[in-house]
């Protein structure tokens, strides 16, 4: 019987500590070869490749590996090929793409297959090109992982890690009532992923519950970077036709195209939705959306929002003069610290909104402990023997109070499953 050992390395060229399986061969330094090929986690190398590798292996170790040689090696293993993945179920369909639940023959792990249809004349949509280019460089425990890319004449297939559901589905399954401690855990993970993006000058520009994925361990990850942009790319202005209407900031609604990371701070709307089970500003038009915002937060003036009175759209809409309501009346489940943080997210001016990095240090998260602030960004990095936990022995089953319908449950084999921010 073949003897297998394991080492951990990432897929897209960043050496790390993920596990791969290989057949033990004393004549070669297999660990060095694995590092050079940067193979993905938990892979089972095909027998025919192992036989061929026993011949070419020494040469691979004796000379620098070129990009071409690495691409050829990965292709021989099975990467970049449709036959490596088995389609199981259809998860959803959009204008440009269809998403399937699938399984990798190399790892036997579940994956999500995003199949993008290619038009003969137009080629790949710009959203797909952006998503691929950005996700190749974003490696974080709270950002969905891109495993593989398959290009054929008719389609471009992106292979992602599989997560059980999105935040909207989670809310629906819980009867729109998430335990308040779970709200805090999800919000912190959202801020971790967002802070990582912003430090790397990446704007997501489409944050909403449907683009936040959750697995059975309670890990939340940012997904769908089709509208994302790298802030470092020189440009005079950006489009204001971004961010789903319900989560779009008021300055963007009023036509601003000169924005930065504050455009992603629709986090406040998502925070409110997790707490209350309903959207904060469910407008169907830009005018109605602004109407909902001003009715709750008060109609802005030159004092509260300098320059707003000279905005053409604001003047045209001629909103009534609403007085601001107290947020605590709308969020009775939130603590004083939680209401304070929500208010900091819902500021009119982008520069006044609390950033993701600042929000993570807010007193609202103090009961999670100091350890969560020092967790490694990426699950691909070396980690301690004992996984970092959000809290000491936080059990989803115990905290979800009465087994909320459809909520994440603890598996029978792991009754004391803990919610990890970074495994």
- What residues are annotated to the active site? 206
Quote the pLDDT of residue 117: 86
Angle in degrees, CA 144, 37, 47, rounded to 5: 100
**Cα–Cα distance list, 165 to 21, 219, 270, 333, 381 (Å):** 29, 11, 16, 25, 26
- Same domain? 115 vs 221: no
Q: 377 with 196: CB under 8 angstroms?
A: yes
Task: Give helix 30-37 / helix 67-77 axis angle, nearest 10°.
Answer: 100
Q: For residue 392, what pLDDT band results from cuts at 50, 70 and 90?
A: very low
The answer on pLDDT for 252 being more than 50 is yes
Name the band, by pLDDT with cuts 50, 70 and 90, for residue 373.
Answer: confident
Residue 269 pLDDT > 70: yes
pLDDT value of residue 101: 95
Query: Tokens at residue 30, please?
Result: 């297999």
Q: Cα 227 to the chain's mean position, in Å? A: 13
Domain end marker among 26, 58, 74: 74
**Which residues, 6 or more positions from 158, have their beta carbon under 8 angstroms from its beta carbon?**
113, 114, 116, 128, 131, 132, 146, 148, 149
pLDDT-derived band at 24 (thresholds 50, 70, 90) equals: very low
Which residue numbers belong to the known binding site for ATP? 114
Q: What is the pLDDT of residues 204-245, one digit of tens each?
A: 988 999 999 999 999 999 999 888 888 755 444 444 455 689
Percent of the residues in the chain that have a pLDDT greater than 70, as a whole number = 67
Known binding-site residues equal 114
Whether residue 347 is predicted with pLDDT greater than 70 in this model: the reply is yes
Average the pLDDT over each of 228-242, 246-260, 339-353, 375-389 and give the range with the smallest value: 375-389
Is the residue at 416 inside a domain? Answer: no
In a domain, 313, yes or no: yes
Decide which of 137, 161, 185 is a domain's last residue.
161
| Domain enclosing residue 88, as ranges | 82-161
Q: What is the mean pLDDT of residues 317-339?
A: 95
What tokens does 340 get? 């304070």
Query: By the 8 A CB rule, do 45 and 77 touch?
Result: yes
Report the chain's mean pLDDT, rounded to a whole number. Answer: 77
pLDDT tens profile 297-306: 999 999 999 9
**Both 24 and 108 in a single domain?**
no
Kindly tell me the sign of the dihedral angle through the C-alpha atoms of 201, 203, 207, 211. Answer: negative
Least confident of 42-51, 230-239, 347-356: 230-239
Domain termination site, one of 74, 102, 127: 74
pLDDT at 199: 92
Give exposure, 11-22, as e/b (b: 16+ Cβ within 10 Å): bbeeebebebbb
**pLDDT of 272:** 97
Over residues 54-102, the pLDDT tens digits come to 555 555 556 666 666 666 666 666 677 888 899 999 998 877 789 999 9
Give me the residue label for tokens 């455009």.
Answer: 263
- Is the alpha carbon torsion for 118, 121, 123, 127 positive or negative? negative
**Both 352 and 304 in a single domain?**
yes
């Amino acid at each position: 019987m073949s003897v297998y050992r394991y080492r951990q390395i990432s897929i897209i060229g960043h050496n790390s500590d993920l596990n791969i399986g290989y057949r033990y061969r004393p004549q070669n330094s297999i660990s060095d070869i694995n590092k050079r090929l940067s193979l993905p986690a938990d892979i089972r190398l095909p027998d025919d490749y192992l036989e061929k590798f026993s011949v070419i292996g020494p040469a691979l170790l004796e000379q620098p590996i070129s990009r071409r040689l690495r691409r050829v090696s990965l292709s021989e293993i099975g990467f970049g090929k449709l036959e490596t993945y088995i389609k199981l179920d259809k998860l959803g369909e959009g204008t440009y793409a269809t998403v399937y639940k699938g399984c990798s023959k190399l790892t036997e792990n579940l994956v999500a297959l995003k199949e993008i249809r290619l038009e003969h004349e137009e080629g790949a949509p710009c959203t797909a090109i952006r998503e691929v280019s950005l996700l190749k460089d974003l490696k974080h425990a709270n950002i969905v992982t891109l495993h593989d890319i398959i290009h054929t004449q008719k389609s471009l297939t992106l292979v992602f890690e599989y997560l059980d559901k999105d935040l909207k589905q989670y809310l629906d399954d819980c009867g729109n009532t998430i335990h308040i401690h779970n709200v805090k855990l999800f919000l912190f993970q959202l801020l971790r992923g967002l802070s990582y993006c912003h430090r790397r000058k990446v704007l997501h520009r489409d944050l909403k519950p449907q683009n936040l994925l959750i697995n059975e361990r309670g890990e939340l990850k940012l997904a769908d970077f089709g509208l994302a942009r790298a802030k470092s790319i020189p440009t005079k202005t950006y489009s204001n036709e971004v961010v789903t209407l319900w989560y779009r900031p008021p300055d963007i609604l009023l036509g601003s195209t000169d924005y930065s990371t504050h455009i992603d701070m629709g986090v406040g709307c998502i925070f409110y939705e997790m707490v209350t089970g309903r959207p904060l500003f469910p407008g169907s038009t830009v005018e109605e959306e602004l109407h909902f915002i001003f009715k709750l937060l008060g109609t802005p003036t030159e004092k509260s929002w300098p320059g707003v009175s000279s905005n053409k759209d604001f003047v045209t809409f001629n909103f009534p003069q609403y007085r601001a309501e107290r947020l605590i009346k709308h969020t009775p489940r939130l603590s004083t610290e939680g209401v304070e943080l929500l208010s900091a997210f819902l500021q009119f001016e982008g520069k006044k909104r609390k950033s993701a990095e600042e929000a993570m240090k807010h007193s609202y998260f103090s009961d999670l402990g100091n350890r969560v602030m020092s967790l490694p960004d990426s699950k691909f990095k070396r980690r301690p023997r004992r996984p970092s936990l959000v809290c000491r022995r936080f059990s989803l089953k115990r905290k979800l109070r009465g087994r909320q319908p459809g909520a994440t449950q603890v598996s029978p084999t792991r009754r004391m499953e803990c919610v990890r921010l970074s495994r």
